[in-house]
Structure 1
């Protein structure tokens, strides 16, 4: 096994790494020192003479040359910026994120000779760089330690205790016991439950799950199991279909679960269990992704990313969102981020008004729809879903200049999209939202960005 230390400059990676290696009887490697030895010059000199890109190339080469086991490796603060680096570092490794408050980091690095990365003051740069990289550190980490209030010896002791706990498998068995009472069908149990029972110790990169009631229909276990295998992540992704959110959260905390995909009806209620919530999730009022780091959970929303990405490059114009639920809120947030003027239309204007007040946009009933004053249409209602059928809009309600995004993804080709294609509209299937929200979720879970085409291929 290999232990990899990641985190911002000043978090103690080199000192703690050397002490940890000695305690474990492992070899110690510092990728920054490896770069300087390979290039024959200091890192400040590399930046000054060749630029940051040359340093990053050399850093990647150093990371890929690390021994596969019996090593404690300390990495540079920006190593996680490359998904390829993260994938190489996590292969066969436990990854530990060392962190500290920005003020502590700034004080520790005040006299550093390392080149600045921005035009900000030293303290402002420390804050900005740490905040930008924080989701990547959390995703890439199997364990997180705040070194701000710990001695080096205490940090080493905690890492050793984590390694021992991970190898014992006790937490994994606790999750199996909980899963046995949930609504998991026989095939699902054979795919995940029995695999967990056979594991000697916890999977190296931990446990993940989709939680909801119901969530037996979710394709997330299928998707992430395949993505983990393709990206070298030794994790197990299962589902927890259970109506009691409190019981679910107690079980996943006890088991040390690393990441959760959150679906109905828990996207709002789960926010009370988050220690930190991202700005997008706060604005939307829903969390669909939770990532554990140390003892804390960070809640995020990737649904809006799943809507924004397929629409990226669409010229700003007038957009109409049909619906007033969580998907509609995510759609409004995404469209406004793209510079669109948004109107929310719903059968119940009062519910549409509630969203409009949150986002400062227009609202109305369905009959307020004007095709001549609309450029983008997003269906965030269940109309058109398999088993329900129908379409909010007929072909006569559509124009060739429209972009129509139907968030319904079962069936992939809804009646609304068929009507839109008949008129010559640009059409976006709901499966695209699933692809891009899952891509962002994978990055938050693991620090590795999966290719969108790979996700489409897995989903078929």
Structure 2
């Protein structure tokens, strides 16, 4: 067994770690102490003589050696900012975030000889650094315990209760669409297994469960990714909370609802007005949007110019956001003029109806509707609408070659399939939900694309 304690200084990692190690009959490992031993000097001395970068390099080396170790591991406060550290700590382990309000931490660490991280007064530094680190702590954690009003013994008992938790009520999933056998599979999972899933309607076409479960196995995570198909997002969220789901990938038609349901949202999700990622940890629901990364990265090397986005939903908003980041002049076209005007108005873009496509003659076309998904033979554009000089990007990724892309390729257009978007947004989403970085090349290998 491996139990890893993360969190800011003063949250009780060392004391609680020693108690847990005794209770579980495991060795106790303090990565700060191991780093000092490796360097032959104290942490303040490392910072003073070698600098923080050298400290982080030594710390990374120490943590890398713990990937396959059993024990209770207490980490430095900034360790999980490095995805390589998170990958090593999470392999075969359970990560526990110990946290407390900034005021409590300030009282506990008053008089410490640790070097300051900023030029701010101590109280302000704690608040600022906590705000920066909070997303990293949340994405790396499996369990969260607030230590503010608890004794170290009580914190240790709370962690043990989580580690020995009993089963889940799978009946909460009545009415959800799932592949044959998935409910039985969920019922058979041990309670400590972390759950993730895709929320949408429909979802059974999604390859996310195939991808994520393969990545979980490679990363040594005791986790399972499932289907949460339902037309009502509030029902999805209730089921997710009831089952202890730690992260949701969100697809059509729930992206706007996901943002509205979140307690916190990153600036990209707020600007786009939609979330495709929900992190559910520590009693909070945190929203982010990685779709725009999935659109932006495949367009690297494409010169900015006139661009048209077809559609006015959450995926279309992410596409507009990405195109503006590229420096394009963007027009939103949709079959519903009111929806296209509303989306364009949020970003200061032009809007119109599908009939205006030929007048604009864009260099870049991004299709962001479900047309062409699955077995749908439809395409919003015909061969007469396209020119060989155009770059045509279809965000639909199932199938990889949609009717629109087939038409565009036959005309000599540069084509980008939705697979590219899926790959890059998935890499970013996996980082958001686990703290572990995976390479696009590995995602493509898993999917065979």
- Given the two structures, how large is their TM-score scaled by the length of structure 2? 0.88
Separation in 1, partners of 2:229, 2:79? 37
Q: Structure 1 residue 443 and structure 2 residue 431: aligned?
A: yes
The one-character-per-residue Cα deviations of 1:105-136 (angstroms, maximum 9, x if unpaired) are 45655654444555666556544543343333
Q: Which residue of 2 aligns with 1:39?
A: 39
TM superposition shift of 1:178: 3.3
The gaps in structure 2 that reach 5 residues or longer are none
User: How far apart in 2 are the matches of 1:231 and 1:65?
Assistant: 15
Q: What is the CA–CA distance in structure 1 between the aligned matches of 2:66 and 2:253, rounded to whole Å?
A: 45
Contact persistence 1:395–1:420 (CA under 8 A): no
Structure 1's 377 and 111: CA in aligned 2 closer, same or farther, altered over 3 A?
A: farther
Q: Deviations over 1:138-178 (max 9, x none)?
A: 2221111233444434322321221121xx3x22xx12x33
The partner residue of 2:421 within 417, 420, 433 is 433
Measure, in 2, the Cα distance between the counterparts of 1:398 and 1:113: 67
Asked if 2 retains the 8 angstrom alpha-carbon contact of 1:140 and 1:446, the reply is yes
Counterpart-to-counterpart distance in 2, 1:27 and 1:220: 37
1:59 equivalent to 2:59? Answer yes
Question: Would the aligned equivalents of 1:395 and 1:419 in 2 still touch at CA under 8 Å?
Answer: no
SS of equivalent residue, structure 2 residue 338: helix
Q: How does 1:320-399 map to 2 (within 5 A)?
A: 320-369=308-357, 374-385=362-373, 386-392=375-381, 394=383, 397-398=386-387
Q: What is the Cα deviation at residue 68 of structure 1?
A: 5.2
What is residue 311 of structure 1 aligned with on the other side?
A: 299
CA contact 2:296–2:322 (8 Å) conserved in 1: yes
Query: What is the Cα deviation at residue 264 of structure 1?
Result: 2.5
Q: Which residue of structure 1 lines up, in the alignment, with residue 21 of structure 2?
A: 21
Q: Which residue of 1 aligns with 2:91?
A: 91
Q: Which residue number in structure 1 is paired with residue 156 of structure 2?
A: 156
Q: Does 1:253 align with 2:259?
A: no
8 Å CA contact retained: 2:258, 2:278: no
Structure 1 CA distance for aligned equivalents of residues 361 and 9 of structure 2: 52
Specify which of 178, 181, 199 is matched with residue 184 of structure 1: 178
Distance 1:120 1:48 in 2: 18
**Are the structure 2 counterparts of residues 101 and 207 from structure 1 closer, same or farther at C-alpha, using a change threshold of 3 Å?**
same
- 1:322 to 1:128, Cα distance in 2 relative to 1, 3 A: farther
Paired with 1:154 and 1:84, the residues of 2 have a C-alpha distance of 31
CA contact (8 A) 2:312 2:340 kept: yes
Once residues 223 and 304 of structure 1 are traced to their aligned partners in structure 2, the CA distance between those partners, rounded to angstroms, is: 20
In structure 1, distance between residues paired with 2:322 and 2:287: 18
Q: Whole-Å Cα distance in 2 between the matches of residues 351 and 254 of structure 1? A: 35
Corresponding residue for 1:456?
Answer: 444
Aligned length: 447
Shift of the alpha carbon at 1:257? 1.5
Distance 1:181 1:407, change over 3 A: closer
- TM-score relative to the length of structure 1: 0.86
SS in structure 2 of the partner of residue 320 of structure 1: strand
Q: Which residue of 2 aligns with 1:294?
A: 282
Backbone CA RMSD of aligned residues: 2.9
Query: Could you say if the C-alpha distance between residues 241 and 365 of structure 1 is closer, same or farther in structure 2, counting changes exceeding 3 Å?
Result: closer
Match of 2:185, SS state, is helix
Q: Report if aligned partners of 1:371, 1:397 keep a CA contact under 8 Å in 2.
A: no
Contact preservation (8 Å) 1:319, 1:343: yes
Query: Residues 213 and 160 from structure 1, CA distance in 2 versus in 1: closer, same or farther, beyond 3 angstroms?
Result: same
Kindly indicate whether residue 187 of structure 2 is the aligned counterpart of residue 197 of structure 1: yes
Match among 204, 207, 213 for residue 195 of structure 2: 207
Secondary structure class of the residue paired with 1:268? helix
Alignment partner, residue 275 of structure 1? 263
